[in-house]
């Protein structure tokens, strides 16, 4: 490896640790809001006289807007500084969340979800985490990122069941908005009291002004074949995850007639297992490498999905076990895919982290956006068709990871 791309390992100072904590807290609170909404949204849709398709559309429009704004917002953070752009993006997101609380029909809810989705600040949080850690520790950083995201989702599942059951499903948006607002205030306070040297700020503009918001940088990233392949493989995971989470909640509450509180406990089991294996994946990434961890996760998910093609899958216990296997596979796949992308970007140009991550997340959010829509359409035909699709997509991802991602150097790809 070129040593010029490998700065010496630094111990995180007090202010950087506080910043890291605030960013991870913001990630966690955002995920809490996600899962709170996931639990209560099906009955909110039904109350507004919606259907499975309108449910998929309400879920999908949010991620469509996230995909549209993810790249320009992240690239703007490279050019104008993380601090300024993230506050603007969180403000838009919070406004849209509170507007969703006031929706009186499906059309209004779709419009307000679009506003909420346009506050696409996820990539900035991810870029700040990558700013904090040196290249050799990006696996650890992405492990923390995935862990905080999933712990937040874990907590939101618990809250979502109680909020929907006792406070009314409309309050899934009001409470989610309050949590996002709190995280924004905390970030503002931390930004005003700390100035770590390795975080991109306005003082970095002289060296990075030409590194963002132009076609040349996108072409520079896409000229590396491994970047395009890794983005596509990650987009398959985004599509599966975005579709299956939304569809699973609908299947539990509408098909199996499980109430919000009981379905929250069901999802709690799945997410608990998911979080455990995200932790395992994060700890193994820096030694085994992202490619190997992706293959392990994909293989487990493929093995677990085989029962979908047999009659025993109609037994709810079997369905639950299969779902758990797939969640384990996706958990190992999750931080490994993010680390693979980040390491490839670092080999191309370290100053393009925000742009590269934003481009990856924009494509990922779009894939995640169409997931619920596609799943809801084919789910109208047969309840298990979406799960057949999951099996074959993971199989495709496994083949591509095994044969198209460099086995000799893992994610450390030469750009020569």
User: Does residue 413 lie in a domain region?
Assistant: no
Q: Provide the pLDDT for residue 6.
A: 46
Residue 415 located in a structural domain: no
The two three-digit tokens of residue 114, written as one number: 């679009």
Residue among 202, 282, 195 nearest 18 (CA): 195
Contact 203, 194 (CB under 8 A): no
Is the distance from CB of 242 to CB of 372 less than 8 angstroms?
yes
CATH number at residue 183: 1.20.1250.20
pLDDT at 11: 67
> What does the DSSP assignment read for 85-125?
HHHHHHHHHHHHHHHHHT--SHHHHHHHHHHHHH---HHHH
Half-sphere exposure of 293 (CA within 13 A, CB side): 29
Could you write out the DSSP letters of every residue in 45-70? HHHTT--HHHHHHHHHHHHHHHHHHH
Tokens of 321: 């076990």
Domain assignment present for 7 = no
User: 3-state class of 145 per DSSP?
Assistant: helix
pLDDT at 205: 42
Distance CA 356, CA 362 (A): 10
Q: Let me know: does 174 contact 40? Beta carbons within 8 Å.
A: no
Residue 235 within any structural domain of the chain: yes
Within 10 Å of residue 354's Cβ, how many Cβ atoms? 30
Do 43 and 169 contact (CB within 8 A), yes or no?
yes
Q: Is residue 411 part of a domain?
A: no
Query: Is 8 within the bounds of a domain?
Result: no
Q: Residue with structure tokens 């799945």?
A: 270
Q: Structural domain tally of the chain?
A: 1
Report residue 142 as tokens: 């992405």
Q: Contact, 224 vs 14, CB < 8 A?
A: no
List of the chain residues with pLDDT < 70: 1-13, 135-136, 138-139, 193-214, 407-416
In angstroms, the CA 298 to CA 393 distance is: 10
Q: Is residue 204 part of a domain?
A: no
Here the contacts of 295-299 (C-beta below 8 Å, separation 24 or greater) are 295/398, 295/401, 295/402, 296/332, 297/328, 297/329, 297/330, 297/331, 297/332, 297/333, 297/334, 297/336, 298/329, 298/333, 298/394, 298/397, 298/398, 298/401, 299/329, 299/398
Residue 10: strand, helix, or coil:
coil
Q: Return the pLDDT at 303.
A: 94
* Backbone phi, psi, residue 120, to 5°: -90, 90
Query: The domain containing residue 215 runs over which residues?
Result: 13-197+209-404
410 within a domain of the structure (yes/no)? no
Distance CA 204, CA 82 (A): 10
Alpha-carbon span 7 to 20, nearest angstrom: 19
């Amino acid at each position: 490896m070129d040593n010029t791309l490998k700065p010496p390992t630094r111990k995180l100072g007090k202010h950087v640790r506080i910043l890291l904590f605030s960013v991870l807290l913001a990630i966690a609170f955002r995920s809490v809001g996600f899962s709170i909404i996931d639990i209560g949204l099906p009955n909110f849709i039904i109350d507004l006289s919606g259907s499975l398709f309108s449910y998929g559309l309400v879920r999908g429009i949010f991620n469509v807007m996230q995909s549209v704004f993810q790249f320009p917002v992240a690239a703007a953070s490279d050019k104008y500084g993380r601090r300024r752009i993230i506050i603007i993006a969180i403000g838009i997101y919070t406004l849209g969340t509170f507007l969703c609380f006031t929706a009186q029909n499906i059309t209004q809810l779709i419009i307000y979800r679009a506003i909420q989705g346009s506050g696409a600040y996820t990539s900035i949080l991810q870029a700040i985490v990558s700013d904090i850690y040196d290249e050799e520790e990006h696996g650890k950083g992405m492990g923390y990122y995935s862990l905080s995201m999933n712990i937040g989702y874990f907590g939101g599942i618990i809250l979502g069941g109680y909020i929907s059951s006792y406070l009314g499903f409309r309050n899934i948006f009001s409470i989610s908005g309050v949590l996002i607002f709190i995280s924004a205030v905390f970030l503002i306070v931390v930004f005003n009291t700390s100035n770590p040297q390795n975080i991109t700020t306005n003082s970095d503009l002289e060296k990075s002004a030409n590194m963002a918001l132009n076609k040349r940088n996108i072409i520079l990233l896409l000229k590396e074949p491994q970047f395009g392949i890794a983005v596509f493989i990650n987009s398959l995971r985004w599509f599966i995850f975005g579709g299956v989470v939304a569809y699973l909640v609908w299947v539990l509450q509408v098909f199996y007639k499980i109430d919000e509180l009981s379905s929250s406990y069901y999802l709690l089991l799945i997410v608990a297992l998911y979080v455990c294996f995200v932790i395992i994946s994060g700890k193994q990434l820096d030694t085994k490498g992202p490619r190997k961890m992706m293959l392990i996760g994909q293989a487990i998910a493929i093995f677990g999905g085989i029962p979908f093609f047999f009659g025993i899958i109609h037994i709810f216990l079997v369905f639950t076990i299969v779902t758990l296997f797939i969640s384990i596979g996706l958990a190992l796949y999750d931080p490994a895919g993010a680390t693979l992308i980040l390491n490839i970007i670092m080999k191309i140009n370290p100053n393009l982290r925000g742009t590269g991550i934003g481009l990856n997340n924009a494509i990922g959010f779009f894939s995640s956006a169409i997931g619920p829509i596609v799943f809801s359409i084919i789910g109208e035909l047969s309840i298990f068709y979406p799960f057949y699709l999951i099996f074959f997509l993971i199989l495709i991802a496994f083949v591509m990871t095994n044969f198209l991602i460099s086995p000799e150097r893992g994610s450390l790809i030469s750009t020569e």
